[in-house]
A and B are shown apart, each in its own frame.
Chain A
């Protein structure tokens, strides 16, 4: 087992013929992902290394049975691409694109709720189940198959954490990059819920950062619903204050946006805190050792 993606995943790539789209499609294939189709409007009939390209997601799904989509479409058109995937009954949509206007995402996230599709991202590195399937842009060779779930708001910081785990011989079940935008499809609580139910996952590494209050919501979930240990790091303790959005921003999050508040909430909920970004690996090793 693992969460979200595995050997059964049938992946569709939206924007497959673009520079980033084709580069990362090939790397997903190399990792072992079953890429069944690509979509680029007006490029239908072409192929990428034998992967058929279609004009529409609807047609790609009908012909290939794709059930998961990864999106590399440029920001002005990305919201449209997400809606197209949802309308074609794709159940898991992973949007890599960064720079999507926030009001586009307001409209998209409201529509996805009605369609019952799950969105990961946007502005995220994607999802990888170690040794099984990569639906993302992370470098596959830093992962090692194992029993630790990883969930993070930051792409590169996820790689850093995974790398530390792998160097210590601690393997991962699935690694989920949620994305750093104000509105994202899947949040910490959703990922924790999936990891809690996944038999392969024995512990979860959670990597948060300043801003918003998703870490506090994760803390509430950990306290009330999680039986598995959680190791947490929150980036931004030394970020300068004063980069703020006027009164309304402060009113929405209050002081909950600060790293100290998030660390306190997670710690109080029973998570083990890695105080340094360089200590995520060794903190996890200690937690796992204390359980066996």
Chain B
């Protein structure tokens, strides 16, 4: 789960990480009021769940409350399109109005889980800012890394080591040591999957301050992070994906093809996209129905696929393990009773309880296109799309 920059900064401030003075505005007049209380150059930043805002016009530097109001008016209610968003963009419903720091140098500081080591890793670099990814791929030696061991945590020496290696002066080493330790406390306390400050600015008067920040949270841990869950902004997410989530289908991603896919397991669902492409088709979505054995879940999934106007055929490919094919079959029968499915449905069942699953489908009298193998199912789905065109 993602949070907005302003939400991330509020959490950072709570954990003692310095952030620029400012506040969040939902209207242009609120933006003006906040700006009136700030000194010096002011930055107005569109609050969206996407990077690349600067180049897309989502960040403006202004000098007066009037200009701040105008910048906020231009942004609020608009759709911001960046290289990380869909072509339609994402809605700007809030702007962050803050003091524009006088930056002498941009550092990078991030914490993420390294799956190979099985540990959180703190990364820091003197070459922070917009080009950090390029730095990481071209000169990986410029990225400092420190692993954090559970039960030990970020001890002073570890944070100090990173701070000294960032070539900071004595005072800055002291505040960086504290800042790194505090960021890790936040990462751990809130079950983050990513905590990133980029840039971490060294100001012209020598202070360290988090100029931009990003926090992502572990979806698996939301059950124990109720306050984090409240930060969710569903308007930043695809409408069909939000609907899917509200119906208990966590793994739905809207794509741009014509074959609506209902598959169990992320690997098989990914392989379905690959196979469809190889036999000349394109998936309209990625959907992993998961392993909850509830026919109603299948009805909900079919409902979401069926409501997608791009879908010209539905491909159901289930290889039962934990998921039982008889439950899937019951769900398909129930779905056809509860809604009008206007497109052909290709079904391939295999694995757990497959005889029972096939019996339910045969006795239902539904007109389904049946397939024995994975490839046959993909081919029949693509043929059905071609017939409908």
Instruction: Identify the A interface with B (CB < 8 A).
Output: 20, 24, 75-76, 96, 98-107, 109-110, 125, 136-139, 142, 152-160, 163, 180, 182-184, 207, 209-210, 212-214, 217, 233, 235-240, 242-243, 245-252, 254-255, 275-278
Chain A positions within 8 Å of B193 at CB level? 102, 245
Q: Could you list 11 A-B pairs, sorted by A, with CB under 8 Å?
A: A102-B220, A109-B118, A156-B268, A157-B267, A159-B350, A160-B268, A160-B374, A184-B115, A233-B271, A254-B136, A255-B137
For residue B250, give the distance in angstroms from its CB to the closest CB of chain A: 9
Name the residue among B111, B120, B218 with the largest chain A CB count within 10 angstroms.
Answer: B218
Chain B positions within 8 Å of A98 at CB level? 290-291
Interface residues of B: mostly helix, strand, loop or mixed?
mixed
Q: Is the CB of B110 within 8 A of A251?
A: yes
Chain A positions within 8 Å of B275 at CB level? 276-278
B364 within 8 A of A: no
Kindly state the separation between the CA atoms of A34 and B193 in the bound complex, as whole angstroms: 40
Pair count A-B, CB < 8 A: 195
Chain A positions within 8 Å of B102 at CB level? none
Kindly state the separation between the CA atoms of A276 and B373 in the bound complex, as whole angstroms: 13
Chain A positions within 8 Å of B133 at CB level? 247, 250-251
B253 within 8 A of A: yes
Would you list the 5 A-B pairs with minimal beta carbon distance, nearest first? Answer: A154-B267, A156-B265, A278-B375, A157-B267, A101-B221
A251 (CB) vs chain B CBs: closest residue: B136
B112 within 8 A of A: yes
Kindly state the separation between the CA atoms of A237 and B276 in the bound complex, as whole angstroms: 11
B291 (CB) vs chain A CBs: closest residue: A98
Q: Is the CB of A163 within 8 A of B270?
A: no
6 more contacts with CB within 8 A, not counting A102-B191, A136-B321, A156-B351, are: A75-B220, A76-B223, A105-B118, A110-B149, A159-B350, A248-B112
Kindly state the separation between the CA atoms of A79 and B120 in the bound complex, as whole angstroms: 17
B71 within 8 A of A: no
Partner of A238, one of B198, B277, B320, B375: B277
Chain B positions within 8 Å of A251 at CB level? 110, 112, 123, 132-133, 136, 143
Chain A positions within 8 Å of B352 at CB level? 137, 139
Partner of B267, one of A76, A109, A182, A209: A209
Q: Is the CB of B274 within 8 A of A236?
A: yes
Kindly state the separation between the CA atoms of A105 and B119 in the bound complex, as whole angstroms: 9
A209 (CB) vs chain B CBs: closest residue: B267
Q: Is the CB of B374 within 8 A of A277?
A: yes
Q: Is the CB of B265 within 8 A of A154?
A: yes
Known: A139-B352, A154-B265. A110 touches B319 (CB 8 A): no
B366 within 8 A of A: no
Instruction: Identify the B interface with A (CB < 8 A).
Output: 51, 84, 108, 110-116, 118-121, 123, 132-133, 136-137, 143, 149-151, 188, 191, 193-194, 196, 198, 214, 216, 218, 220-221, 223-224, 253, 255, 263-268, 270-278, 283, 286, 290-291, 319-322, 350-352, 354, 373-375, 378
Partner of A235, one of B108, B119, B198, B270: B270
Kindly state the separation between the CA atoms of A245 and B275 in the bound complex, as whole angstroms: 26
For residue B173, give the distance in angstroms from its CB to the closest CB of chain A: 23
B222 (CB) vs chain A CBs: closest residue: A101
Partner of A101, one of B119, B214, B224: B224
Chain B positions within 8 Å of A276 at CB level? 274-275, 278, 375
Kindly state the separation between the CA atoms of A103 and B116 in the bound complex, as whole angstroms: 14
Q: Is the CB of A278 within 8 A of B373?
A: yes
Known: A154-B268, A155-B321, A156-B264. A110 touches B151 (CB 8 A): yes
Known: A103-B218, A277-B271. A245 touches B112 (CB 8 A): yes
For residue A68, give the distance in angstroms from its CB to the closest CB of chain B: 19
Q: Is the CB of B221 within 8 A of A278?
A: no
Q: Is the CB of A155 within 8 A of B265?
A: yes
Known: A156-B319, A236-B270. A247 touches B220 (CB 8 A): no
Q: Is the CB of B196 within 8 A of A101?
A: no
Q: Is the CB of A103 within 8 A of B264?
A: no
Q: Is the CB of B194 within 8 A of A100?
A: no
